[in-house]
């Protein structure tokens, strides 16, 4: 009897790009893709963090390079992708949050969150996918969304607006790119301990309210997301597109 074989999780020979890769979730996902065999380009607005990350990945046996890019500069994004060979894997991780009551939100706050979380992701995806299509690459585009792209939360009108929009964008993008065998999916985490979330989680009452929602009883760690990124980037998820991998410890289950 011939048994079916598990599709490969390895990423050898593939080129990946991760935005916001200097620390936190972006750094962890870049490390995961490199460990799986991908050649990874780490992107951020400043060089120091991504240079250190690329060196660390190299010392761990992976292949990584650092590239400065402000993903909110759409003209720069277009030039960046035109000047490079096509990537096989894109991880849209760059993002921000400005938690506040809806009554306190200014136009500047709105622009800061939506421009990075949604507009930049849209055009990075467009430019990267354009090169994938031109080179006939069966690529994988992974967007780092949030459980807040599936539910609401107090003082999260901006963040929820951006992440719900990102979930819809990913589904529609999946349909546009399916004829080219390019997949689009999201990873939607709960609160992950990172430099961005640390100031909020230092508030004991806020942390307690978060833990009360996470049914598994702990905050997320970046390691909780690494396997999902490798899965979505690899042949193991070849029939997955237009969906979301929700890693929330049970937050959205009730």
The CA distance from 165 to 117, in Å, is 9
Q: Give start and end residues of each alpha helix (H) in 115-222.
A: 121-134, 157-177, 198-201, 204-213
Strands (E), the chain: 15-19, 39-44, 63-68, 89-92, 140-144, 183-189, 244-247
Phi first, then psi, for residue 142 (nearest 5°) are -120, 125
- Identify the residue whose tokens are 């929330």: 248
- Crossing angle of helices 107-114 and 157-177, in 10° steps, is 30
C-alpha 227/C-alpha 62 separation (Å) is 16
Cα 208 vs. chain centroid, distance in angstroms? 26
| From 159, 169, 191, 251, the catalytic residue | 159
Indicate if 110 belongs to the active site: no
> Is residue 140 a contact partner of residue 89, using CB atoms and an 8 Å limit?
yes
Q: Which residues contact 224 (CB under 8 A, 6 or more apart)?
A: 189, 192, 247
For 232, phi and psi rounded to 5 degrees?
-70, -25
Q: Tell me which residues are annotated as active site.
A: 159
């Amino acid at each position: 009897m011939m048994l079916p074989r598990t599709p490969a999780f390895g990423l050898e020979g593939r080129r990946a790009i991760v935005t916001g890769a200097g620390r936190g979730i972006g750094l962890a996902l870049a490390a995961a893709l490199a460990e799986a065999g991908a050649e990874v380009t780490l992107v951020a607005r400043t060089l120091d963090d991504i240079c250190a990350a690329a060196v660390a990945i190299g010392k761990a046996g992976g292949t990584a390079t650092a590239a400065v890019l402000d993903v909110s500069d759409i003209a720069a994004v277009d030039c960046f992708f035109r000047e490079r060979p096509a990537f096989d894997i894109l991880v849209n991780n760059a993002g921000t949050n400005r938690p506040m009551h809806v009554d306190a939100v200014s136009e500047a706050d709105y622009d800061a969150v939506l421009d990075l979380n949604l507009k930049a992701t849209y055009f990075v995806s467009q430019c990267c996918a354009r090169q994938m299509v031109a080179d006939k690459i069966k690529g994988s585009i992974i967007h780092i969304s949030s459980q807040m792209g599936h539910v609401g939360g107090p003082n999260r009108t901006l963040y929820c607006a951006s992440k719900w929009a990102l979930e819809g964008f990913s589904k529609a993008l999946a349909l546009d790119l399916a004829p080219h065998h390019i997949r689009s999916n999201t990873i939607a985490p709960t609160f992950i301990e990172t430099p961005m979330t640390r100031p909020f989680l230092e508030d004991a009452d806020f942390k307690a309210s978060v833990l009360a929602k996470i049914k598994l009883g702990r905050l997320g760690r970046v390691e909780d997301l690494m396997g999902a990124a490798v899965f979505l980037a690899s042949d193991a998820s070849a029939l997955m597109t237009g969906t979301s991998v929700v890693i929330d410890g049970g937050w959205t289950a009730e």
